[in-house]
Structure 1
Amino acid sequence: MFTGIVQDIGTVVAIEEREQLRTHVLAMSPAMREGLTLGASVAHNGCCLTVTAIEGEHVSFDLMRETLRLTNLGQLVAGDRVNLERAARFGDEIGGHSMSGHIMGMVTVAEIDEAPNNRRLWFELPDALARFVFDKGYIGIDGISLTVGSVEGGRFCVNLIPETLARTTIGERVPGDRVNIEVDPQTQAIVETVERVLASRG
């Protein structure tokens, strides 16, 4: 389980390709590696991955075909940067919202509005995800816990303060980029339950 509060940015230093499997090797800071063990969970752009090797500052993670298909991790090359978050522990402060690390899909950056001391990003909203996205609801974008600013037709936006832009990779995004999306699990459960109840009543 994760909170959507990005703790650091890691750099991809190597990618190893095998049949239907890819290994990403990341350079991670000492703070992120402290207490890290094989089998631990670390979110990369919001996607939960398992530590498979630790060699000094380099930490390896395996990515299956489904991960590569559903997330933007399959588009990474050596030198790219990713948002990182260690798994939450009982007693930790929940500064964002509860996130599972299970990416539902990707959305495209449609437009960027610049304003003094903040930035608004608009995203195209696929029909499959539209029923889960509401004004002022929670959403995870590349592992960042954010509040939906507005939903207009087939688009939604989020508003970003300087701290978020400085501490994550979202400030590097440009129109056309694809970002990982995780809708709020509680919202997802409520919507799907209501849909099932309504369907059962005909």
Structure 2
Amino acid sequence: MFTGIVQATCEVVSVQQQAGLKRFEIALKPELLTGLQTGASVATNGVCLTVTKISNDKVFFDVMEESLGLTNLDKVQRGDLVNIERSLTFGSEIGGHILSGHIHTQAEVVSVSDTAEHYDIELALDAKWKNYVFYKGFVAVNGCSLTVGQLTERGFKLHLIPETLRLTNIKAHQVGDKMNIEIDSQTQVIVDTVERILAKKQQG
């Protein structure tokens, strides 16, 4: 489990294509290596990945074809920065919201407004996921827990503060890029339950 509070952006040192998967080598910062062991879970651009090898400050992850097809990790190249969060430990402060690291879909960047007063980014979301996104509700974008600032015809808009831009790779994304989306699990359960109840009433 994760909180959506990105701890650092870390450089992808290499991406190796292998049979049925890609192997990512990522240089983790010293504070993220403390206590890290093979088999641990690490959120990488919001995707829950398992550590397969640790060599000094380099950490290796194997990403299967299914995950590559569902997320933007398939587009990540050597030299790119990815958002990193270690898994939640008992007693940790939860500053964002609970995440599983299982990506539901990707959203395309359709507009960016970067001025001295604000940084707004609009994301287009597939219709099947729009019912789970609410004004002032939570959504995880590339593993970063964010508050929806505005609903739009194509999806939703985020109003980001400088600290979020500093700590994450969101500002590196341009129009046409895709970002990993994990919707809030509690919101999904509530919406699905209400829809089932309404459907039964209509049938009755």
Counterpart of 1:78 in structure 2 is 78
2:128 match: secondary structure: helix
Q: TM-score by structure 2 length?
A: 0.96
Q: How big is the shift at 1:126?
A: 1.0
Give matches, 1:1-202, under 5 Å: 1-201=1-201, 202=203
Q: Distance in 2 between matches of 1:18 and 1:171?
A: 30
Name the aligned partner's letter for residue 174 of structure 1: Q
Q: How big is the shift at 1:25?
A: 0.7
Runs of 4+ off more than 6 Å: none
Q: How big is the shift at 1:114?
A: 2.1
CA-based RMSD of the aligned residues comes to 1.0
Q: What do residues 23-58 of structure 1 show as CA deviations (whole Å, max 9, x unaligned)?
A: 111011111111000110000010100000000111
Q: Is the 8 A contact 2:106 2:125 kept in 1?
A: no
- How many pairs were matched up? 202
Q: What do residues 107-162 of structure 1 show as CA deviations (whole Å, max 9, x unaligned)?
A: 10010112324301011121021110111100000010000001022221011000
Q: Percent identity?
A: 46
Q: Is the 8 A contact 1:20 1:64 kept in 2?
A: yes
Q: Distance in 1 between matches of 2:116 and 2:97?
A: 27
2:163 match: secondary structure: helix
1:42 match: secondary structure: strand
Q: TM-score by structure 1 length?
A: 0.97
Name the aligned partner's letter for residue 111 of structure 2: E
Q: What do residues 137-196 of structure 1 show as CA deviations (whole Å, max 9, x unaligned)?
A: 000000100000010222210110000111110111111110000111100111111122
Pick which of 192-201 and 182-191 moved more. 192-201
Gaps of 5+ in 2: none
Gaps of 5+ in 1: none
